[in-house]
Amino acid sequence: MLEIIRIPVLSDNYIWLVHEPDSGETMVVDPAVADPVLAEAEKRGWTITQIWNTHWHPDHTGGNAAIKEATGCHITGPEAEKERIPTLDTLVKGGDTVRLGNVTAEVIDVPAHTAGHIAFYIADEKTVFVGDTLFAMGCGRLFEGTAEQMFDNMQKLSRLPGDTQVYCAHEYTLSNGEYALVAEPDNQALKERMDAVREAREKGEATVPTTIAQEAATNPFMRAASADELAERRTAKDNF
């Protein structure tokens, strides 16, 4: 069983520190920064051996160089973004596999937020690291891709088992949910989820990870019936 630790950094980023106890390997997903990650690993007596990047944005790769410098770790990320992530050692694309000790992740192409965005799906652990593609009740902005691509991404992710834990890279849940209530005012599951989210956020608690089943029930982007509907909702949320 993986141990997965949430490290909140910057205003709303989550870095995921992932330990595989059989091999002793420790991996970091999308390190925006280095120091809090190195401190957390040291506190736990873990040595960081790998970094996995989902996309090139600085709030996902900014800590790469310093963590590599401190630990000598190996960095894996999207082949399509290799020019924008000069620290990568291994380049991967959809269908490739990546190993962390005895655990294997499948790479899933999810372009749209950035052109080469990938997700890492660990079926045996019912875990997926989605970066800025899928959020609790939201999806990433379409900076380098189309609504059609994001619609395909949502369809792909929605086919994962419902109890898959979804590790997103930001705490955007409350503002996503406020918009979701406008998009689907009659969605009872959404109303109940928002009550729980408001309570959690008032106490300063994190609302991530989420699950595929929760998103299937409450996420207006995963629930969009067509690329056109997703596009409409994305534009509405951008201006919300």
Q: 19, 30, 109, 132: which is the annotated catalytic residue? A: 132
Of the residues 30, 55, 117, 152, which is catalytic?
A: 55
Site for Zn ion in 181-240 (CB under 5 A): none
Strands (E), the chain: 3-9, 13-20, 25-29, 48-52, 74-78, 90-92, 97-100, 103-109, 118-122, 127-131, 134-135, 138-139, 165-168, 210-211
- Out of 25, 27, 30, 57, which residue is the one contacting Zn ion (CB under 5 A)? 57
Q: Torsions phi, psi of 78, nearest 5?
A: -70, 125
Binding mask 31-70 for Fe ion (x = CB under 5 A): ----------------------------x-----------
19 is catalytic: no
Structure tokens at 91: 């380049």
Which residues contact residue 162 at a Cβ distance below 8 angstroms, ignoring those fewer than 6 apart? 211, 212, 213, 216
- Which tokens is 115 given? 């052109």
Q: Mask of contacts with Fe ion, 80-119, x by CB under 5 A?
A: ----------------------------------------
Positions marked active-site = 55, 57, 59-60, 113, 132, 170
Binding site for Zn ion (CB under 5 A): 57, 132
